[in-house]
Structure 1
């Protein structure tokens, strides 16, 4: 058998899997259950998957001059079949579309056999029923203005409006909500969601009787904690592709961290989201712009830069503008605009012209593709914002900087007058192939760009935060929902377009989006609203019925079980052990890392030629402050699915690999934290059982059960006997990490207790939000 045939055979299971995934998009939906077929929720997903590649928005790839993504295109006479129409309202037997998808003639069958796309019987039935009902088209749900729908009827379970929408869906699916979570579970869950830190034993005791008033007080206290900005800041660092180096091969240090300080500050001050976005898009263009507003525009400048000699300046300058455009469209609007860089979008109503009209907003900064002199690396690139000591004692007091020298940050600027660039559509997206000139504008399919708006990024910011804009509020509300429940109401959080997932609760999404805008784009209010709901407060226990009906928990009849993010695992270990240094902001830090990783993986130069680990308190900062070198992201964080920050990311996967267990068992931070907590408890408690119970409560954030206590005490006794019989193993076990150890703590008891704590950190429950 030839290698080629072997490869084909190897691909067959994958092909079968793909087909099964496509078939399963309609799984669980019986045709008889659907009274009124919706174009948006039933038909468009089928056409988008199976038809739009050849009969969609991309004119260059369109076959037979047939366009099925628009009503006009679908109902007009067929060019190649005079007298015939793809769709005839109410008459599937006269509709060429239906004839082609049911044909037994391989030459007529659609999709064509060579496409490897197949319509299921359910999908064909839906299309037939839709045509029978009139084949009505609807505007894409995400491109229509969000309006508050009528609230579903009240029920005894519901605490607020969110629950009324959720309960309605549960009932439709034959589900019932779970009982309320145990108070300690709920306290841990809320603390992790708002601050990213575990609750202390004192907090657990204070709120042991978690009445509704007490729960509201708990939420208010957590939202007021400065750790809130650090927790939510991780999400925005992924969106803004924040990093501490330039990327590409000659990777050197950059000083964008004051922007991170600003994001944390903005979240803690509860800056309204519309203002938060405006500052980042166009802070420099606001009247009498302050340095804080200009600093916020560093959002646009966090992309990679080259410092390699011999590159073509314009090629890389265009690359940077493309990155700005794509980050805005994906992170703020939740659309895949980048697909239209080289040609009209194949699925969404965005032409290549639309793309470059949006691109034009970002094309007038004095930024260069290459600043010259490969021997000199600067921590910021033109345009630069300089921050001095006077600023740090005034409007920029939120920046944590202990040095006396000036800070430099890459920010935005705008060319004026004769210096302004003309933007062109780039043929096939190539930097040196300009064709038709275009002016700034936005896709009309989303919302027209009004004539009275400024023809620059400030106008774009006003368009983005306009009450009529159908995407901005929906996308952000969905991101917050994803942060809390693991999956957004729209699962494809970065794609609200034709190929994206449909919202599981469309009315709830719209209600939340409008309510968010009506209440001043208040982020903390939104979070409290969700965390106050009965939906959020449910137990995470799962029944066989729930698993059978709703294995992915789409309809939220239980709280989700979610493994913590890489940063939050680090934060939990450091906080529960007492090692966490709770300093807000400042330059990034370099914690423990395996030797030689940087040096083996990239050339690097200057300060980043070799990895120089930090010492002292810098080793015990929160995960948001870990140094991100683009060419070699922190390996431990990557193992736990963190973003590598080389592009905008608005959601993380959650894998489960043996490497994660190896990290938790061997990472110096985990072992050091275990040793420090063991010594602390050894000093505080003479009773072994009490020490173990307190370790359990600090790490798992709940009281220990008798059977758990018995197992851990038995393990402690085994380890204690081991160290008493092998005294030579005590020092090598305890002498891990740089935190000082008191000689009096170098005992068999401390070493045994350390082993118990290591085992606690390695429990699934420890690093899981339940």
Structure 2
């Protein structure tokens, strides 16, 4: 393609990608109604709310623009003037100021480096002329199921999701892709539900099954595998900021891993999401709470802890409660409440008082900011759940603990008397001002007087079907897990500064459907995965790139690199090295020598890095030991979370370091060596061995051109190693997995190089 052919395409993509909130260009007709939520609020939020929004302390001229009655009212400093006068731009100071030529009157002020576009000004003008109608923020209104849209092509939709997707796609002049090939669907489903590639046996069985419900059967089968819970747990470990150390200076080991075992177990037994949340927020407060329900509350205790001498106990105790509050608001409600720790939220209707009322729910635990002598580091902090061997044998059978020692887990507990909570001036632990009690923001959903004012009441408020956020946020998380981008792109921010949903009616329909079907997580995932939207091919056309380069409207299946943990899992599984043991303590795989020692001043077990041996080297990425002060390098290079705070989404970068890992990491090289050794044992012909390796890693047959290239590479490497036996010897000794002496030969070395090349194909670690 010539350069002058490429430039118009690139320009079109650039123009589209620069539009605010990822929304499509809206060519409004003369009589079309302007929407406050869609057209106006994003402009005001970005440019005006910092000085004329919810934060009373920063409000200028007494003008508040986020609430209609305030915007319509007479200005405090000029009673004869009004911020906005519906239907009359000549009497609306807002409009006069945004078109002013006088720098001292112009809004936003020139020194703010903010500037409205001509389109922004035209939208505000038209909105005022139409009556300046305000609307409640979409995310704070309980979701409702609207009637499913009708589509012209009634053959394409497989369920309701497709009707919503088609309706939006059709407006942009897009048509859906054809259905993906069978092998693509199987790999996609397996990676999405288990994080592992399908086994050769699964591939063979699925190819043979020509029944009409073959696809639905394989979805059900894969969803019932124990590895489903492991895949789902990766996301929840990010949200719950799980780690194996305390963080801060002088880092040391902690034993929160039984909580991870519980999360895997909960997903595998399909614990309804409302119970899943309730147990984690307040399992200890349920009537006759079991040890399993108490263990679930470790969710709240996964934050960092200091073990530094000389710290102020109350300062860090407050820090821990702040973390709990922010994790709850971001991970479960999808709201950035931490902005209100020091002052009223500048964009959302959440005051500092609201923040500390929420804080109060978590402020009644006997937890301490600092526990005694630094030299006596404990694997859990008060309050503690002790898990005995008897518990594991009878009640907590899902915990993978091989010896008879007790396990200590940090969990939640309530004080006998209520601790008073204060609004903290500027968020400082010792700057107490007004006392407040537990409550939730009215702007989201009022807290019923019938609910207890404690964490159990908070949990019941959270999973109330009238709560506008909880179901929406989780449905959006699952959509993001599958399609790489949520219906709301800003997964952790459903507030005023967050992105507008690309398909608001679909999000609401799914949220209500999810609740109506018992908060059933597997039901929700199956609904998405059996849609025609999900089953499309990932082929990209020129029209796709010009009209929807970010694939917001899903006229094709997205091509997504696997999450960091699943990159490791794919290598282990396809090579036959994977140890499929579920749960248990974290493990320490290969890591560059001296990394811990150079990066941190750990103590005790974490002073130096002691690599595990044997089967522990081949556990799934979920179980990799996470030291907060020096996170494992391979996951971080592939955009894994460092787990020092709640994370609801990860970036997907493409860097040279990732290529270097795939070419040089001891695990990838060892896996290539082990698979080569196995295949040379089972297949006499090199080409047959290459075909088998290709199928195991890429989950499809190679075409003739691919096979020719790989066979040619094999011959080149075989010739090289025949001339230089020492190089083959060195190459084949990488990794701890034992190798038979007879397999240390040029043939195995050449096949190893071919397999390593296959692992380095973009398709190998990409869901297509």
| Contact 1:358-1:441 at 8 Å conserved across structures | yes
Corresponding residue to 2:557 among 546, 556, 559: 559
| Contact 1:26-1:122 at 8 Å conserved across structures | no
TM score, norm. by length of structure 1: 0.96
Q: State how far apart, in whole Å, the 1-side matches of 2:690 and 2:634 are.
A: 28
| Contact 2:22-2:499 at 8 Å conserved across structures | no
Q: State how far apart, in whole Å, the 2-side matches of 1:310 and 1:94 are.
A: 61
Is 1:153 the equivalent of 2:150? yes
Is 1:683 the equivalent of 2:674? no
Q: Which shows bigger deviation, 137-146 or 25-34?
A: 25-34
Per the TM alignment, residue 729 of structure 1 is displaced from its structure 2 partner at its CA by 1.5
Residue 415 of structure 1 is matched in structure 2 by 415
Residue 58 of structure 1 is matched in structure 2 by 55
Per the TM alignment, residue 78 of structure 1 is displaced from its structure 2 partner at its CA by 1.2
Residue 758 of structure 1 is matched in structure 2 by 756
Q: State how far apart, in whole Å, the 2-side matches of 1:94 and 1:590 are.
A: 68
Q: State how far apart, in whole Å, the 1-side matches of 2:358 and 2:31 are.
A: 40
Deviations 1:558-603 (A, max 9, x none): 0001111110000000000000000000000000000000000000
Per the TM alignment, residue 303 of structure 1 is displaced from its structure 2 partner at its CA by 0.2
| SS of alignment partner, residue 762 of structure 2 | coil
Residue 67 of structure 1 is matched in structure 2 by 64
Q: State how far apart, in whole Å, the 1-side matches of 2:752 and 2:672 are.
A: 5
| Contact 1:697-1:704 at 8 Å conserved across structures | yes
Q: State how far apart, in whole Å, the 2-side matches of 1:549 and 1:26 are.
A: 12
Per the TM alignment, residue 28 of structure 1 is displaced from its structure 2 partner at its CA by 2.6
| SS of alignment partner, residue 766 of structure 1 | helix
Per the TM alignment, residue 207 of structure 1 is displaced from its structure 2 partner at its CA by 1.1
| Contact 1:386-1:408 at 8 Å conserved across structures | yes
Residue 262 of structure 1 is matched in structure 2 by 262
Residue 104 of structure 1 is matched in structure 2 by 101
Per the TM alignment, residue 212 of structure 1 is displaced from its structure 2 partner at its CA by 4.3
| SS of alignment partner, residue 433 of structure 2 | strand
Is 1:187 the equivalent of 2:191? no
Residue 387 of structure 1 is matched in structure 2 by 387
Per the TM alignment, residue 455 of structure 1 is displaced from its structure 2 partner at its CA by 1.0
Residue 741 of structure 1 is matched in structure 2 by 739
Q: State how far apart, in whole Å, the 2-side matches of 1:446 and 1:753 are.
A: 60
Is 1:198 the equivalent of 2:211? no
Residue 143 of structure 1 is matched in structure 2 by 140
Q: State how far apart, in whole Å, the 1-side matches of 2:285 and 2:738 are.
A: 51
| Contact 1:630-1:644 at 8 Å conserved across structures | yes
Residue 577 of structure 2 is matched in structure 1 by 579
Q: State how far apart, in whole Å, the 2-side matches of 1:26 and 1:577 are.
A: 43
Corresponding residue to 1:114 among 111, 116, 125: 111
Residue 612 of structure 2 is matched in structure 1 by 614
Q: 1:23 to 1:325 in 2, by over 3 A?
A: closer
Deviations 1:660-684 (A, max 9, x none): 0100000000000000000000000
Residue 697 of structure 2 is matched in structure 1 by 699
1:269-288 to 2 correspondences below 5 Å: 269-288=269-288
Corresponding residue to 2:422 among 421, 424, 434: 424
Residue 5 of structure 1 is matched in structure 2 by none
| SS of alignment partner, residue 390 of structure 1 | helix
Is 1:134 the equivalent of 2:131? yes
Is 1:79 the equivalent of 2:76? yes
Per the TM alignment, residue 23 of structure 1 is displaced from its structure 2 partner at its CA by 6.6
Q: State how far apart, in whole Å, the 1-side matches of 2:573 and 2:486 are.
A: 29
| SS of alignment partner, residue 763 of structure 2 | coil
| Contact 1:242-1:645 at 8 Å conserved across structures | yes
Is 1:339 the equivalent of 2:336? no
Deviations 1:96-153 (A, max 9, x none): 1111111111111111111111111111111111112111111100000111111101
| Contact 2:86-2:128 at 8 Å conserved across structures | yes
Q: 1:119 to 1:212 in 2, by over 3 A?
A: farther
Per the TM alignment, residue 257 of structure 1 is displaced from its structure 2 partner at its CA by 0.1
| SS of alignment partner, residue 756 of structure 1 | helix
Corresponding residue to 2:646 among 640, 645, 648: 648
Q: State how far apart, in whole Å, the 2-side matches of 1:256 and 1:408 are.
A: 8
Residue 368 of structure 1 is matched in structure 2 by 368
Which ranges of structure 2 fall in alignment gaps of 5 or more residues? 1-13
Q: State how far apart, in whole Å, the 2-side matches of 1:251 and 1:730 are.
A: 41
Deviations 1:595-636 (A, max 9, x none): 000000000000000000000100000000000000000011
Q: State how far apart, in whole Å, the 2-side matches of 1:180 and 1:135 are.
A: 45
Q: State how far apart, in whole Å, the 1-side matches of 2:674 and 2:398 are.
A: 32
Corresponding residue to 1:90 among 87, 112, 135: 87
Residue 236 of structure 1 is matched in structure 2 by 236
| Contact 1:352-1:425 at 8 Å conserved across structures | yes
Is 1:433 the equivalent of 2:431? yes
1:244-643 to 2 correspondences below 5 Å: 244-417=244-417, 420-643=418-641
Which ranges of structure 1 fall in alignment gaps of 5 or more residues? 1-16
| Contact 1:31-1:126 at 8 Å conserved across structures | no
Per the TM alignment, residue 436 of structure 1 is displaced from its structure 2 partner at its CA by 0.2
| Contact 1:31-1:122 at 8 Å conserved across structures | no
Q: Which shows bigger deviation, 189-198 or 149-158?
A: 149-158
Q: 1:238 to 1:33 in 2, by over 3 A?
A: farther
| SS of alignment partner, residue 207 of structure 1 | helix
The runs of at least 4 aligned residues of structure 1 exceeding 4 Å deviation read 20-27, 209-212
Residue 722 of structure 2 is matched in structure 1 by 724
Deviations 1:514-559 (A, max 9, x none): 0000000000010010000000000000100111000000000000
| Contact 2:334-2:494 at 8 Å conserved across structures | yes
| SS of alignment partner, residue 401 of structure 1 | coil
Q: 1:160 to 1:77 in 2, by over 3 A?
A: same
Q: Which shows bigger deviation, 345-354 or 94-103?
A: 94-103
| Contact 1:89-1:135 at 8 Å conserved across structures | yes
Q: State how far apart, in whole Å, the 2-side matches of 1:604 and 1:436 are.
A: 40
| Contact 1:247-1:629 at 8 Å conserved across structures | yes
Q: Which shows bigger deviation, 94-103 or 686-695?
A: 94-103
Q: 1:230 to 1:24 in 2, by over 3 A?
A: closer
| SS of alignment partner, residue 398 of structure 2 | coil
Q: State how far apart, in whole Å, the 2-side matches of 1:686 and 1:756 are.
A: 16
Per the TM alignment, residue 639 of structure 1 is displaced from its structure 2 partner at its CA by 0.5
| Contact 1:567-1:637 at 8 Å conserved across structures | yes
Per the TM alignment, residue 53 of structure 1 is displaced from its structure 2 partner at its CA by 0.2
RMSD of aligned alpha carbons: 1.3
Per the TM alignment, residue 88 of structure 1 is displaced from its structure 2 partner at its CA by 1.3
Deviations 1:662-709 (A, max 9, x none): 000000000000000000000000111110000000001111100000
| Contact 1:344-1:351 at 8 Å conserved across structures | yes
Residue 11 of structure 2 is matched in structure 1 by none
| Contact 1:26-1:123 at 8 Å conserved across structures | no
Q: Which shows bigger deviation, 277-286 or 741-750?
A: 741-750
| Contact 2:21-2:500 at 8 Å conserved across structures | no
| Contact 2:144-2:512 at 8 Å conserved across structures | yes
Is 1:178 the equivalent of 2:177? yes
| Contact 2:383-2:412 at 8 Å conserved across structures | yes
Per the TM alignment, residue 156 of structure 1 is displaced from its structure 2 partner at its CA by 2.2
Per the TM alignment, residue 248 of structure 1 is displaced from its structure 2 partner at its CA by 0.3
Q: State how far apart, in whole Å, the 1-side matches of 2:118 and 2:212 are.
A: 50
Q: 1:220 to 1:352 in 2, by over 3 A?
A: same
| Contact 1:183-1:210 at 8 Å conserved across structures | no
| Contact 1:630-1:645 at 8 Å conserved across structures | yes
TM score, norm. by length of structure 2: 0.97
Q: State how far apart, in whole Å, the 2-side matches of 1:33 and 1:421 are.
A: 59
| SS of alignment partner, residue 375 of structure 1 | helix
